[in-house]
Amino acid sequence: MRINRTRLHDTVLAGVVAVASVALFALYSPDRLQAEGVSVGGLRAPDAFGAVLVLLACLPVAVRRSWPVAALCAGLAPEILLAVSGYGSGAPSLPGLVLLYSVASYRGLAVALASLLASLTAYAVGAMLGPISVANWREHMVVAVVLVAVWGAGRNLRLRRAYLEELRDRAQRLERAHAADTRAARAEERSRIARELHDVVAHHVSVMTVQAAAARRVLAADPDLAREALSAVEHTGRMAMTEMRNIVGVLRTDSRAELGPQPGVQDLPALAEQMREAGLPTRLDVEGDPRPLPAGVDLAAYRLVQEGLTNSLRHAGAGAKAVVTVRHEPRELDVRVEDDGRGSPPVASQPGHGLVGIRERVALYGGILSIGPLPGGGFEVRARFPLKDGQ
């Protein structure tokens, strides 16, 4: 059986308040007040009936957090009855202060103000109907200050509790936002790494496959040409391993990856030469005045040409030629890869991983991508990257 600790604590507090209140009630006798110079005409001596009323005023403390308003009302009634019956002046008792504090701590401002007004009214009624008349207004003011102070302490606790709760909610929201950002960053990083791995692997493996096939066909008839093709396969494989090692090095946060500069438009002549060696005649045309490009756009343009030539090598068919056109304009970089093959390139509506990666790269930098067959035959991959002034 699970124990309600809050209710248990309030019950213990009610018992402590009851003991203290009964003890004070027993000491609050006419003889003692007369000895202190207080007029006690009509004041009743402590008796069993008065003690029962004191206990009734203390009982609501046991439910002060569950039903604070009801507990305050239930506690004020015996206190008023004590004053009217001649047992006191109507000054707020210990349970009355505890219950007022509880309402201020656990209820809203309007209810808390109403509870303060009820406590002040109960004191005023007791002071007017009780047997002890207090002629000095300062004593009434002291009682009012005590009630307001207790009420203010309860309100301060409520505001502090609300502030701490808001801090906890804010911390949880920030934690959830941070977790969401982390997941998004990880997803983006995985996507970036997947693009890089695909671009490297697909390109170099395609070149190696074509060169190996050429070596197999001429192995018996022309061993020297086969040897050259196999050397090209070895060279391409080493390049692929180097690029893959660089990409994997980025993932190793505990080691210093020796990363070279990322490829860009300036590396396109070497890429075109590599494709020519692989058996795809490739021409590179550069129009306009070349100028430094943003690193991201530079890499995206290179990867677009690489993917376009790889697709041409794989799908354009024998005898096909490819043309790479890079046009530098004042506010735009236009990159186009087209071939005159009659093969079956990947359909634009159902792109492979490479074309998906190209779409993501181009979209990342606000570019416009078009992929599809040419009217006179062949296939085209084209992207236009916007450039800011000064880029």
Domains of the chain: 5-135 (no CATH), 271-391 (3.30.565.10)
- Amino acid identity of residue 123, one-letter, is Y
Q: Give yes or no for residue 102 having a pLDDT over 50.
A: yes
Q: Which residue in 67, 96, 73 sits closest to 6, CA to CA?
A: 67
Sign (positive/negative) of CA torsion 42, 43, 48, 54? positive
What's the pLDDT score for residue 282?
A: 92
| Residue with the two structure tokens 């009610």 | 14
Bridging pattern class, strands 322-329 and 282-287: parallel
Place of tokens 């911390």: 171
Residue in the block written with tokens 């075109």: 272
Q: How many CA atoms lie within 13 A of 193 on its CB side?
A: 15
| Residue 12 bridge partners (DSSP) | none
**Residue 345 in contact with residue 338, Cβ under 8 Å?**
no
With cut-offs at 50, 70 and 90, classify the pLDDT of residue 132. low
Who's near 173: CB < 8 A, 6+ residues apart? none
Segment 117-128, tens digit of pLDDT: 988 888 887 777
211's CB contacts (< 8 A; 6+ apart) are 229, 230, 232, 233, 236, 277, 278, 279
> Could you write out the DSSP letters of every residue in 309-328?
HHHHHHHS-TT--EEEEEEE
Q: Which helix (H) or strand (E) holds 166?
A: helix 137-218
Please say whether the beta carbons of 342 and 315 come within 8 A: no
CA–CA distance, 184 with 42 (Å, rounded to integer): 80
Least Cα distance to 337 among 364, 356, 311, 299 occurs for 311
The conformation of residue 1, written as its DSSP 8-state character, comes to -
Give the residue, 314 or 242, on which the prediction is more confident.
314
Is a pLDDT exceeding 60 seen at residue 391? Answer: no
Amino acid in position 350? Q
Q: Evaluate if residue 343 carries a pLDDT over 80.
A: no
Unique residue bearing structure tokens 């308003």: 69
Q: Which amino acid is at 98?
A: V
Measured between alpha carbons, how far is 365 from 384 in angstroms, rounded to an integer?
10
Tell me how far apart the alpha carbons of residues 184 and 188 are, in angstroms, rounded to a whole number. Answer: 6
CB half-sphere exposure, 112, CA atoms < 13 A = 22
Q: What is residue 212's DSSP assignment?
A: H
Distance CA 92, CA 83 (A): 10
Query: In terms of pLDDT, which residue wins out, 5 or 53?
Result: 53
Higher-confidence residue: 43 or 144? Answer: 144
Q: Do residues 111 and 100 make contact, with C-beta atoms less than 8 angstroms apart?
A: no
pLDDT number for residue 92: 66
Q: What's the pLDDT tens digit per position in 290-303?
A: 888 888 888 889 98
Residue range 327-338: mean pLDDT, rounded: 92
* Residue 127 per-residue DSSP state: H
Residues 166-210 have pLDDT tens digits of 999 999 998 888 888 878 877 776 776 666 666 666 667 777 777
Please report, as a single letter, which amino acid is at residue 292.
P
Note the pLDDT of residue 119: 86
The model's pLDDT over 309-323, given as tens digits with 9 standing for 90+, comes to: 888 888 877 788 999
Q: Residues near 284 by Cβ (< 8 Å), separated by ≥ 6?
A: 268, 269, 272, 324, 326
Hey, which residues does 332 pair with through a beta bridge? 329, 386
pTM above 0.75, yes or no: no
**Alpha helices, DSSP H only, in 59-136?**
68-84, 94-106, 109-129
Q: What is the mean pLDDT of the chain?
A: 80
Query: Facing residues of 371 across strands?
Result: 381
